Amino acid sequence: MSNSNQDFLCDVKKVFFDVKGDDKGRLVFFQNGNNLSFDIKRVFFIYNTKDCISRGHHAHYKTKQLLVATSGCVQINCEWKGRKESFVLSRPDMGLIIEGMVWHTMDNFSSDCVLMVLADSYYDEADYVRDYNEFLRVSGQ
Ligand code: T46
């Protein structure tokens, strides 16, 4: 029997950050319990990705992530609950929250792109669904 997509955490949200700044320049911060919808357990960043490369191609069972292009730009393509939508991250004061069972790919990386990711979980390969047909099956689509 296949699972219904109601069984899994599954959401995508574009978010804008509060920017602190003065004549010295701008600053954005993330602090547990303050301005994030989850607590941070892991931070990683992706850079030096060639523009012909497509990354991602997976969903997560549980992990919640906030993606921010702190430099340059990148396109994030998401599929969840039967919806497909692409988002361009191109400024450090906005990001994309991807929670759980969302198939996502990243492409059109600019040469200067630094994609920072804050995650609510430690790295665990068992949390990944890397097979698209398996994603469709477990998400009930
Ligand atoms: C995601 C998107 C946005 C680790 O050892 N620890 C880590 O915390 C991570 C994230 C990766 N790795 C290793 C696993 C692979 O050997 O780094 C290598 C590259 O990882 P992957 O091919 O999964 O990278 P992306 O860019 O396809 O996906 C990454 C994250 O893995 C994923 O959670 O949602 O960025």
107 in ligand 1 pocket by Cβ < 6 Å?
no
* Structure confidence by residue, pLDDT tens digits, 26-58: 999 999 999 999 999 999 999 999 999 999 999
Question: What is the phi/psi pair of residue 137, to 5°?
Answer: -65, -50
User: What atom of ligand 1 comes closest to residue 125's alpha carbon?
Assistant: 14
pLDDT of residue 6: 53
44 CA distance to ligand 1 middle (Å): 8
User: What atom of ligand 1 comes closest to residue 123's alpha carbon?
Assistant: 8
1 pLDDT tier (thresholds 50, 70, 90):
very low
* Structure confidence by residue, pLDDT tens digits, 61-87: 999 999 999 999 999 999 999 999 999
* Structure confidence by residue, pLDDT tens digits, 83-137: 999 999 999 999 999 999 999 999 999 999 999 999 999 999 999 999 999 999 9
Domain ranges in the chain?
A: 5-139
Question: Which among 44, 103, 135 is the best mutation to test ligand 1's pocket, defined by most ligand atoms within 8 Å of the CB?
Answer: 44
Beta strands in the chain (DSSP E): 10-16, 20-22, 25-27, 42-47, 55-60, 64-71, 74-80, 83-89, 94-100, 103-107, 114-119, 128-129
94 CA distance to ligand 1 middle (Å): 21
* Residue 60 annotated as catalytic: no
55 in ligand 1 pocket by Cβ < 6 Å?
yes
Pull the structure tokens for residue 125: 């390969």
In terms of CATH architecture, what is 5-139?
Sandwich (2.60)
Look at ligand 1, atom 29, and give the residue with the nearest C-alpha: 56
